[in-house]
A and B are shown apart, each in its own frame.
Chain A
Amino acid sequence: MESGRQISAGEQIKGNLQAHFAYYRRSRLLLAFGLVFLILGALFSLPAIFGQSHVKTFAALQNIFGLFNDFLIVFSAALGLFIISSHLRARNLKMVFTKPCPPQLWLGSAFLSAVAASLLLNILILVCAIAVSLVWHMRVQAGLVFVSLSTFAASVGLIGYLMFLAMIMHPVLAAVFALIFNPDIFYGMHVWTQGMITAGTKSAILRGLSHLFHFVYMVLPMVHAFPKETGRIQTALRVEPGQWHYAFYSLGYALALAALCYCLSLFFLERKRLI
C-alpha cells in the first residue's frame, strides 16, 4: 500500500509560503493595521518634512525613520499573531496535518513567511530613508543600516514570541499580555521598589515585589536586546566602529528567542485539538 514516493519538503515549504503570503496580502485586518500605521506615520512626518534648516531636515529624517521602524516592529508582531490565530480559529490546520506535512514544517513556514514579509518592509523603509537622504542632499548615515538591522532583529524575536502567545491563548489576550507584560514596565517597577527600599521603607511585601518584578523583567523577552549600548545610534544615526557587533548580537538574541518560542509553540500545537 505504501507508495515509496519521495516527498519534497521544498515543495511543501514553497506551497506553505505562497499560501501564507496570500494570507498577508488578503487579510483585511492586516491591511487595516498597515493603513493605520501608514496614515499615522504620514501625519507625524508632516511637521518634520516642512522644516527649513539642515539640522531640522536631519531631525525630520531621524524622526520619520524611527517612527516607521517602531511601527514595523509592531506590525511584524501582528503578522506572527495573526498567521497563527487565524489558522487556529478557522480550524483549517486539519486540512494540512492530514497530509504528509508535519506541524514543525508548517510552523516553520509560518515563521519564515512572517520574517520574510517583515524583512521586505524593513528593506523598503531603509531604501526610502536612503532615497530621502539623497533627495535632501544629506550624507547617507551608516546608522540607517544599523537601525534597520536592529529593527529586523527585534521583529524576528517578536514574531516568534507573538506566535507562541497566539498558540496558547486568544489573540486579543495575547496582544494584551504582550503589551502589559513588557520588560520596560517591570524594570521601572523594580527600580521604583528598589528606590523605596533604599529610602528606608522596611516592608517585606515591597522586598518581595522587588524580587518578583526583577524576576519577571529577567524572564520576559526584550524588544531591543542592548538598549544602553545602542540607544544613541537610534537618535544620532552614527555608528562607532566598536558598535556594529551589537547588531549581530541582537540578531543572535532574537534567533535564540525565536527558536525557544518555536519549540514551545510546536509543543502546544502538537497537543492542540485541531478537530
Chain B
Amino acid sequence: MDAVIAAENVRVHFRRGLLGEPIRALDGLSLEVREGDFFALVGQNGAGKSTAMYCFLGLLKPTSGNLRVMGQVPGLGSKLYDRVAYLPEEPHYDLYLTVEEAVRYYVSLYGMRVSVQKIREVLERLGLEPFRDLPLAKCSKGMKQKVGIAQCLVHETRLVFLDEPTRGLDPIVVMLFRDVLREINRRGSTIVMNSHVLSEIEMLSNRVAIIEKGKVIAQDELRNLTRLDQERYAVAFETNGNVPDYLVVEEDQGSRVKGCIPADRLYDFMDFARQACLRVLECSLKKATLEESFVKILKGDGNTAGLK
C-alpha cells in the first residue's frame, strides 16, 4: 500500500523568545500512514501530536528530517491539499460568515464550483439546514464542527486531519461525527486523528502511533497494540485451597477464587484444574484496552520491539 504520509526523523526545534529555553516539539519523529488507514496519534499533553499534525499540514516547517504528504513536501496552501480537509481542535472559522456561506467559502478554496443544492443536501443531512443563515459567531462548538464535516462531505476529500475532533461536543453530535467519519473512511479516505479519548480511537482507528517527547515510541495496528503481551484469561474456579503460582488473584472467597492468568499459561491451568479435579466456573479471553497498552508502553514495560 502507498504511504500517504511518510515522516522520517522529523525535528521541530524552536525557542520561546530570543533568550528562551530551546523547545524540542518534535525530536526525530518517524511514522508512516498508509492509504485507507484510520490512523490515530496518541500521546500525553505536550507530546507533540498537534505539532506533528501542523507539520503534515504545512503550517509548521520541520527544522530537519524528511516529510512527505502524498509524495510531496507540505507547504502553506500547497496544491497537494487539493483533496485534504482539516478540522482543527478549536474551530477557527471566519465567524462573520453564515453556516452556508462558510461551507461554500471553504469549498471554493479548493478551486471548485459546487451547486447550492449539494451544499444544502449536506447541511440537511447534518441537521444544519435550519441554521444555514445563522452567523458562525452565534453557533455552538458542535455546529461549527459540523460545518467542518460538511466541507469534507461536499468536497469528497481523500485525506482528513482531525485535531481532537470531539472535544467539548455532546454525545449525540459525537455519535453523528463517528458515523460520518466511518463513512468517509469506508469511501476510501485516509483519516489521521489526534485524540485523548482512547475509547474513541479504539472504536474508529485501525492503526495507532504513540508519541512521547516528540518521538513515536510505538506504531502498529490497533489489534497488535492492544494485544501487546497483555492478552490474558479471566478465570473463576472452585478450589480446595491450592492455586497456581501464575494466577493473579482478584477475588478470594475461600472455596471460590477469581483471577487472571497469562494467555500462554492456559493449557497449564487446564492441566492443573484437571489434575486437582477443580470445577472451572469461568474462563474467558480478556483483551487489553488501548488505555492499558498506552499506559504500559509509556511506563516502558511494554514489549514494543518491532512495533515502530
> Is the A/B pair a real complex?
yes
B-contacting residues of A (Cβ < 8 Å)? 1-3, 5-9, 11-12, 14-16, 18-19, 22-23, 26-27, 87, 90-92, 94-103, 105-106, 270, 273-275
Contact A8 to B81, CB < 8 A, known contacts A15-B105, A23-B94, A92-B93: no
B186 contacts the other chain (CB 8 A): no
CB-based closest 6 A-B pairs:
A15-B108, A7-B111, A102-B77, A99-B109, A98-B86, A97-B76
A-B contact pairs, 30 of them (CB 8 A): A1-B71, A2-B71, A3-B82, A5-B82, A5-B83, A6-B111, A7-B82, A8-B112, A11-B112, A15-B105, A15-B108, A15-B109, A16-B105, A19-B94, A26-B96, A26-B135, A27-B96, A87-B94, A90-B95, A91-B92, A92-B94, A94-B57, A94-B59, A98-B84, A100-B79, A100-B82, A105-B77, A274-B76, A275-B50, A275-B54
Interchain CB contact under 8 A, A18 and B158: no
Contact A95 to B108, CB < 8 A, known contacts A1-B2, A19-B101: no
Query: Which B7-62 residues have C-beta < 8 A from chain A?
Result: 35, 50, 54, 57-60
Residue in A22, A27, A90, A97 whose beta carbon sits within 8 Å of that of B77 in the complex: A97
| Distance between A136 CB and nearest chain B CB, rounded to angstroms | 40
Chain B contacts for A3, CB-based, 8 A: 82-83, 158
| Distance between A237 CB and nearest chain B CB, rounded to angstroms | 39
Residue in B92, B110, B135 whose beta carbon sits within 8 Å of that of A100 in the complex: B110
- CA of A115 to CA of B41, assembled, Å: 44
B113 contacts the other chain (CB 8 A): yes
Interchain CB contact under 8 A, A1 and B111: no
Interchain CB contact under 8 A, A99 and B88: no
Interchain CB contact under 8 A, B77 and A100: yes
B97 contacts the other chain (CB 8 A): yes
Residue in B35, B76, B95, B113 whose beta carbon sits within 8 Å of that of A8 in the complex: B113
Contact A97 to B59, CB < 8 A, known contacts A27-B96, A90-B92, A270-B76: yes
Chain B contacts for A92, CB-based, 8 A: 92-95
Bitwise, B59-81 to A at CB < 8 A (1) or not (0) is 11000000000110000111111
Residue in B59, B104, B105 whose beta carbon sits within 8 Å of that of A274 in the complex: B59
Residue in A18, A98, A103, A275 whose beta carbon sits within 8 Å of that of B105 in the complex: A18
Number of A-B contacts (CB under 8 A): 126
Chain A contacts for B60, CB-based, 8 A: 273, 275
| Distance between A38 CB and nearest chain B CB, rounded to angstroms | 21
Q: Which residue of A lies closest to B135 (CB)?
A: A26
- CA of A1 to CA of B237, assembled, Å: 55
Chain B contacts for A106, CB-based, 8 A: 77
- CA of A1 to CA of B101, assembled, Å: 29
B106 contacts the other chain (CB 8 A): yes
Chain A contacts for B113, CB-based, 8 A: 8, 11
Query: Which B131-168 residues have C-beta < 8 A from chain A?
Result: 135, 158-159, 161
Interchain CB contact under 8 A, B109 and A90: no
Chain B contacts for A270, CB-based, 8 A: 76
- CA of A101 to CA of B106, assembled, Å: 10
Q: Which residue of B lies closest to A7 (CB)?
A: B111
- CA of A79 to CA of B106, assembled, Å: 22
- CA of A105 to CA of B110, assembled, Å: 12
- Contacts A3-B83, A90-B94, A275-B54 aside, 11 further interface pairs with beta carbons under 8 A come to A1-B70, A7-B79, A14-B108, A15-B108, A18-B101, A91-B92, A94-B59, A97-B76, A98-B81, A105-B77, A275-B60
Chain A contacts for B54, CB-based, 8 A: 275
Most A CB within 10 A of own CB, among B82, B107, B159: B82
Interchain CB contact under 8 A, A23 and B96: yes
Contact A101 to B94, CB < 8 A, known contacts A1-B35, A94-B88, A275-B59: no
- CA of A26 to CA of B102, assembled, Å: 14
Chain B contacts for A14, CB-based, 8 A: 108
Q: Which residue of B lies closest to A86 (CB)?
A: B96
Chain A contacts for B86, CB-based, 8 A: 94-95, 98
- CA of A23 to CA of B105, assembled, Å: 12
Chain B contacts for A15, CB-based, 8 A: 104-105, 107-109
